[in-house]
Structure 1
């Protein structure tokens, strides 16, 4: 049976962030993920998790200056020191929150940058992150993101991510397979799941409807079929619900749109 984690950056936007933990638990979620924890003390977040019997299953490493449009540092030549500081901070939070996965955003390719240098920078940085995380039992996740939502992002395709993992050569580096991004860039989702899940290199899934990124029962993807496929392939990890409720931040918008989840609870 698939296990679902509420993405608190996307869901329950009708209440303050720290109140979203309780809201998710009330709706039957047993786990949460979100983009970034760093605006809050780790102990405050840990208290919310414990009070609501929730597991923290994923968050992102610091992405650089998010408000200025940066989307990760891993591929950026000349930002290695900042990247390393960010990974150290992320691991501290992961330990405090007992979170076994950190997503390292690749970043936007700098204009005019040499492609080989960008790729080499990315590989070196991810290897460093993996080496720091491994003693703590933490996985480093790499997520291909579609070029429509995030133009210029370094990592876009599943085959690219798996090739990079092979070159990086660290057992704790895995792919974060977001089926929303994969559908937009590549399609053929069921065959890609069948291709990549048995390799052992997929550490986490995420979902959203395509094209609007609303609830997974809205749009062109048959998620019921895909959930059953994941079950049949023995996937026992988490599926992050990283979508925007169709009713936005209206009161109870997230809860009212969870009809799709009920058969799987």
Structure 2
């Protein structure tokens, strides 16, 4: 059976991040964070929370050699932070994002063949870093229509293709169903395809529209949950969503949606 996690960056916003992590732990959830450089790692390490995922780079991009060098350098820095927190998954995107979720270096058209080859080479090196450190890097799909215009390799199909091309245990897909619903839809078949290929590192969820908790929008999350049970998915399902009302209610809706 899968386990449930919650992104501490998006709930209990009136509390310090370490208090959010503790509260989520007390509620029975694993914890995820974003940019580790913005937090007191010692304070987080003192909490009882099980931190299972965080951003795995600070700067860089997959599309060219200069950006790849920076991504690899900051990925190595992230490994040290992950070890301090006991975190086993480090998340990546096609390029660095600013505080609004926009790409630092946007790509205005479809990535070229040279960009695809650069991304594959860089991700193979990232996978090697992860395997040496005993952690898994995950490559997340994003939507470009609403939240992240200009991000390369954003579609779930692109992310899955890159992870499959590298085909190493140190790299898996972070299948974000909120982004996939906006960008592609057909979520259950997407889950079945990625799981059947053995390429899912974790699954993230939020509802559409609004990026609120499951049960507030158009996605049939109980059907998603039944599919995950049916295929034998045993990884993490993480809520990366803003609370529609209050955070306690959001946690309850999330748990209810994934209780089968």
TM norm structure 2: 0.87
Aligned equivalents of 1:261 and 1:159: distance in 2?
26
SS of 1:79 mapped into structure 2: helix
Aligned residues: 248
Identify which of 97, 122, 132 aligns with 1:125.
122
Residues 42-66 of structure 1: CA deviation (Å, up to 9, x unaligned): 3332112xxx2x22111112342xx
Candidates 222, 225, 242, aligned match of 1:224: 222
- Change in CA separation of 1:3 and 1:112 when aligned onto 2, cut-off 3 Å: closer
**Could you tell me how far 1:193 is from its partner in structure 2?**
1.2
Q: Does 1:254 align with 2:247?
A: yes
> Residues 113 and 146 (structure 1 numbering): CA distance in 2 closer, same or farther, change over 3 Å?
closer
TM-score, normalising length from structure 1?
0.86
Query: Equivalent residue for 2:10?
Result: 10
Cα distance, 1:78 vs structure 2: 1.9
Question: Per chain length, whose mean CA-contact separation is higher, i.e. which structure has more relative contact order (CA < 8 Å, sep 6+)?
Answer: 1
Q: Relative to structure 2, which stretch is displaced further, 204-213 or 101-110?
A: 101-110
- Distance in 2 of aligned mates of 1:158 and 1:112: 17
Q: 1:112 to 1:225 in 2, by over 3 A?
A: closer
Match of 1:34 in 2: 33
Range moving further from structure 2, 189-198 or 235-244: 189-198
Q: How does 1:46-125 map to 2 (within 5 A)?
A: 46-48=45-47, 52=48, 54-64=49-59, 73-107=61-95, 108=103, 109-110=106-107, 115-125=112-122
Contact 2:129 2:170 in 1 (8 A): no
8 Å CA contact 1:88, 1:132 repeated in 2: yes
Cα distance in 1 for partners of 2:107, 2:196 equals 34
Is the 8 Å Cα contact of residues 61 and 105 (structure 1) preserved in structure 2? no
The alpha carbon displacement at 1:156 in A equals: 2.3
Q: Could you say what secondary structure the match of 1:6 adopts? A: strand
Instruction: Please give the per-residue CA displacement for 1:153-204, whole angstroms capped at 9, x wherever unaligned.
Output: 1122222222212322323211100010111111111121122212110110
Is the 8 Å Cα contact of residues 74 and 104 (structure 1) preserved in structure 2? Answer: no
Question: Can you give the 5+ residue segments of structure 1 that lack an aligned partner in the other structure?
Answer: 65-71, 248-252
**Residues 28 and 110 (structure 1 numbering): CA distance in 2 closer, same or farther, change over 3 Å?**
same
Residue range with higher mean Cα deviation, 151-160 or 138-147 = 151-160
Q: Is the 8 A contact 1:57 1:99 kept in 2?
A: yes
CA RMSD of aligned residues (A): 2.1
SS at match of 1:257: helix
Q: What displacement does 1:118 show?
A: 2.4
